Amino acid sequence: MARRFALRSAFIASVLLAAPAVAVAQSPSCDRFRAELASLGRGGDARAAASARALRGELGRLQSYAANLGCDRVNFLFFGQPKPQQCGAIEAQLRHVSAEYNRAMAQSQGSEPRRQQLMAAIRQNCDPGSAGGRQPNFFERLFGVRPGDSMDEANRAPDDQLPTEGDPSEQRQTRYGGSRTVCVRSCDGYFFPLPTGSRDGAPEMCQALCPATETLVYFMPADGAIERAGNREGKPYTELPNASKYKRSLDPACTCRKPGESWTAALQHGEELLGPRRNDIIVTAEKAEELSRVKPVAKPAETKPADVRDKQAKTPASAEPDEEPMPDPAAVPTASHESSGIGPQTIDSQRAVGTREGQVREVIGANGQKQNVRVVAPNIFASPTTADKAE
C-alpha cells in the first residue's frame, strides 16, 4: 500500500513539473517568431512601387502603339495583310518592359509573403486566445491529441499556401486603342471618324474639321467602343474630364463652327488639307450660279415615216441640182435701166447711155397709138420707159 502511494505521488509530481517545462520550451519559438515579425518593415520598397507604376504606363502605351500599327493582326496562310516591319522591334520591347514590370512588382511587395507566414505561425502556436493556437498540455503531447482537431482542420491548407487575390502582375490589363482614327471634341467628348489615310496628319486634320474648339485624336477598336479608345501615349478616352458628356447634356457653346459662320468657311482649311480629287468640282460663285440654272428640256428629234426615209435613202445626191447663188444686180448689164454699152464703134465702150440721152421721136405703133421712141444711136432704138411716156 505504501509503495503504491509513493508511485502515485511521484507520477503526479512529474506531471506537474513537465507541464511548465513544455511551456518554457515553447516560449523561445514564439519569441523568435514575434521578433522576426517586428523586424520586417511595413510594406515593400517604395521606389520599386513607383517604378512599377511607371512601367505599367509604358507597357500600356506600347500595347496601344502596337495595336495602332496593326501588330495584332492574325494571318492565316496567305490570307490577310502582313504585319508592318516595325512590329518585330516593338514586340521585343514589349517583352522587355513586361519582364521589368514583373520584377518591380515583386520588389514592391517586399517581405509580405514572409509576414503572412509568421503571423500564421503565431496564431497557430503562440496565441492562447484561439483554440487552434493553444499550447498542448502534457497529456495532449503524451497521447498526440489536440483539442478541436478534426479531419477538416488536418486537411485544411495553411494560410501561406492559399492563393492571394489582387496581384497586379497576374491581372489582365485593359488595352486601349485600335485601328480606327477618330477626332474628339475636348469640350463634350463628342467624336467623329477621320478620313482614311490621314493617320500621319491626324491632329491637323482633326483641328481643321472642327476649328471652333479644341480637338484631340484617339484610336478606337473596330467594334466601335469609344470607352476603349486611347491616344498615342496610351491614355484612355475615359480619363478625359468631359468624356461622354455629349450623352448627358447639350452645350450650345461646344460646336465645331463659330456663331454665324457658314460650314463652307469653317471647313475651308480642311478642304485644303484633303486636296482636290479626280472627281471633285471646284464650285465658285459663277459655277454655283450656273449649276442653279434650270436646264432646257431637249426637244425630241423629228421622226419621218418609213417610206419617206427609204425614198430619201434611195435618191442619189447627184440627182438634186446644186442651187446657184443669185448674181449681183450691178454685175448684170440688163438688170437696170441703164444701157448695156452696146452700140457703134464711135461710142466709148466704157460709157453707158443714160435714160435722158438721145433724140426722142413720136411714132405710131402697131396698135395705132402714138408713142415716144428715144434714139440713142443710128438704127438702135431704146425701149420707151414710163418716164418717156409721161413726157
Q: Residue 339's pLDDT is what?
A: 52
pLDDT value at 259 more than 50: yes
| Beta-carbon count within 10 A of 241 CB | 8
Higher pLDDT, 338 or 368: 368
pLDDT value at 155 more than 50: no
pLDDT value at 66 more than 90: no
* pLDDT range class, residue 217, cuts 50, 70, 90: very high
Max avg pLDDT among 48-52, 84-88, 188-192:
188-192
Take residue 131 and report the three cell numbers written for it: 483554440
Q: What is the pTM of this model?
A: 0.32
Take residue 192 and report the three cell numbers written for it: 467623329
Task: Single out the residue of 251, 192, 195, 241 nearest to residue 218, CA to CA.
Answer: 192
User: Which of 29-38, 97-106, 301-310 is least confident?
Assistant: 301-310
Max avg pLDDT among 11-20, 96-105, 205-214:
205-214
In this structure, what DSSP letter does residue 385 have? -
Q: Quick check: 97 and 62 in contact, CB under 8 A?
A: yes
Q: Quick check: 243 and 237 in contact, CB under 8 A?
A: yes
* pLDDT range class, residue 334, cuts 50, 70, 90: low
Distance set, CA 271 to CA 108, 253, 291 (Å):
53, 24, 21
Max avg pLDDT among 294-303, 311-320, 360-369:
360-369
Q: Residue 96's pLDDT is what?
A: 85
The mean pLDDT of 270-290, rounded to a whole number, is 64
Q: Which helix (H) or strand (E) holds 68?
A: helix 46-69
* pLDDT range class, residue 74, cuts 50, 70, 90: low
